[in-house]
C-alpha cells in the first residue's frame, strides 16, 4: 500500500511558476515509478510527466516539454514537478500516481496508487 499526498498547487498568473510535490508513505519508494496527471473541467485526465525509480528515465507530454521538469528524491520519499511559463491551458487538478511498472505511470488510469490531487489555476 502506498499513500500519496500532493502539495504546492495554487493560483498563478500566466508566465509564472509553481512547484508541485508528491510525498509518499512507503518503505519501498524507490521500487515505484511516479507519474503526474492532470484533469481539467470537462476534459479527460491526461498524463503530463513521469519518472522511473532512479530518475534515469522521464516522460513529458508534448505540450509541457521545455516548461515542466520532473525529479525525485528517494531519500525523502518525494517527487517534484517544477512548472515554468505556465499558461491558462495548464489549469487543472494535478495528481501524482505510483506503480512499479513504467508503462502504467504513463497510461491514464493505469497506476495502482493515486493521490488526492492539488488544484493549479493559471490566470491570463
Per-residue pLDDT tens over the stretch 11-23: 999 999 999 999 9
CB 32: neighbour CB atoms within 10 A? 27
Residue 109: pLDDT above 80?
Answer: no
pLDDT score, position 25:
96
Identify the pLDDT of residue 108. Answer: 78
Residue closest to 34 by CA, chosen among 76, 92, 87: 76
The grid coordinates listed for 9 are 498547487
What is the rounded average pLDDT for all residues in the chain?
96
Contact 95, 39 (CB under 8 A): yes
pLDDT digit string (tens) for 79-104? 999 999 999 999 999 999 999 999 99
CA gap 29, 4 in Å, rounded: 11
Q: What is the DSSP string of 55-101?
A: SS-EEE-GGGTTTEEEEEEGGGTEEEEEE-S--GGG-EEEEEEEESS
Torsion of CA 8, 10, 11, 15, to 10 degrees: 20
Amino acid at each position: 500500500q502506498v499513500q500519496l499526498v500532493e502539495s504546492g498547487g495554487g493560483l498563478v498568473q500566466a508566465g509564472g511558476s509553481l512547484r508541485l510535490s508528491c510525498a509518499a508513505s512507503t518503505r519501498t519508494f524507490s521500487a515505484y515509478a511516479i507519474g503526474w496527471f492532470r484533469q481539467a473541467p470537462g476534459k479527460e485526465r491526461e498524463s503530463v510527466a513521469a519518472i522511473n525509480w532512479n530518475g534515469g528515465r522521464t516522460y513529458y507530454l508534448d505540450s509541457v516539454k521545455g516548461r515542466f521538469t520532473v525529479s525525485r528524491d528517494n531519500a525523502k520519499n518525494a517527487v517534484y514537478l517544477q512548472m515554468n511559463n505556465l499558461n491558462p491551458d495548464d489549469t487543472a487538478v494535478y495528481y501524482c500516481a505510483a506503480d512499479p511498472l513504467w508503462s502504467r505511470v504513463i497510461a491514464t488510469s493505469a497506476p495502482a496508487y493515486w493521490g488526492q490531487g492539488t488544484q493549479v489555476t493559471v490566470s491570463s
